[in-house]
Homo-oligomer: A and B are copies of this chain.
Amino acid sequence: MTVVALSGGVGGAKLSLGLYRALPADALQVVVNTGDDFDLLHLRICPDLDTALYTLGDREHREQGWGRRDESWDLMGTLESLGEPMWFKLGDADTALHVLRTHRLRSGIRLTEVIDDVRRQFGIRARILPMTDCTVATRVETDDGELAFQEYFVRRRCEPRVRAIRFEGAATAHTTAEVLAALDAPELEAIVLCPSNPYLSIDPLLAVPDLRAALEKRRVPLIAVSPLIGNTAVKGPTAKIMAELGVASSATAIAAHYAGLIDALVIDTIDAQHAAHLPIPAFATQTLMRTLDDRVRLAEFVLARARELGR
């Protein structure tokens, strides 16, 4: 039996790691947002894919939420000394991956194949699949004008007020044969929508028409995990963006956001009182993932609920 996870950055990678440990090694396929991808110094950078690779490959920096452990910074220091303003951090080992990816993409290799080779070299037995090999770019319309995603997220630290978010190129993009095969596999048991930012990290996946269509015609339960605990997000600007978009930041609003797509929602114990008001089944548990045990336990909870729904 296999499971597909839909993931953005850190929160998604944490639950993906829990699923990877909770399932047989080859059973997990993680479909990852590529709307954050961008070019820096003509290097192609894919933050969410790299977070997935580093997290499942046991190389992630556990505190800072991006990049690698035991990283060195000589390349970036030299770039700064040569007059390049480095608002996006480029560790030496991290940059190796950017250089390799850029080289292989320019050589005509698909992003899906590039990432698949890296995850093998990292010893990861789960599949890590870009949501598309086409270029999709998340653009954030703010009070300070429209910003490219990394401009908004890293350079401006999510400070400008968000008015709208769009996914440039998504309407004409298509997902990959690998993603469609994963979603159509006879052995597929469940689809897990990870607790990533719905607006910035999951919506880009849903904006790719044939990926959305494949999710809608699934034959298995699609269960989401809310990124909110109480009225706030563990990390990142989810609650801030919901407020700016005029949406109450609550489990109810998350369920409404995914209405028509998900079969059930896993919410935090602290939000259990919302369960009765939701139009879909809601299951409360501790969703904060501090330790590896937390991740595995949440993954097992989500898988158990999905299996019950699938009966």
| Number of identical monomers bound together in the oligomeric complex | 2
Nearest Cβ in chain B — how far from A104, in angstroms? 9
Q: Is the CB of B84 within 8 A of A100?
A: yes
Q: Is the CB of A82 within 8 A of B100?
A: yes
Nearest Cβ in chain B — how far from A153, in angstroms? 21
Q: Is the CB of A72 within 8 A of B92?
A: yes
Query: How many interface residues does chain A have, given as a range?
Result: 20 to 34
Nearest Cβ in chain B — how far from A49, in angstroms? 14
Residue of B nearest to A71 (CB): B74
Known A-B contacts A72-B72, A82-B121, A118-B82; A41 and B103 likewise in contact (beta carbons under 8 Å): yes
Nearest Cβ in chain B — how far from A53, in angstroms? 11
Q: Is the CB of B117 within 8 A of A83?
A: yes
- Checking B41, B91, B107, B117 against A99 with a beta-carbon cut-off of 8 angstroms, the contacting residue is B41
Q: Is the CB of B93 within 8 A of A74?
A: yes
Nearest Cβ in chain B — how far from A296, in angstroms? 27
Q: Is the CB of A93 within 8 A of B78?
A: yes
Asked if A76 is an interface residue, CB under 8 A from chain B, the answer is: yes
Known A-B contacts A82-B121, A83-B121, A121-B83; A42 and B103 likewise in contact (beta carbons under 8 Å): yes
Binding site for B on A (CB under 8 A): 41-43, 71-72, 74-79, 81-84, 91-93, 95-97, 99-100, 102-103, 106-107, 117-118, 121
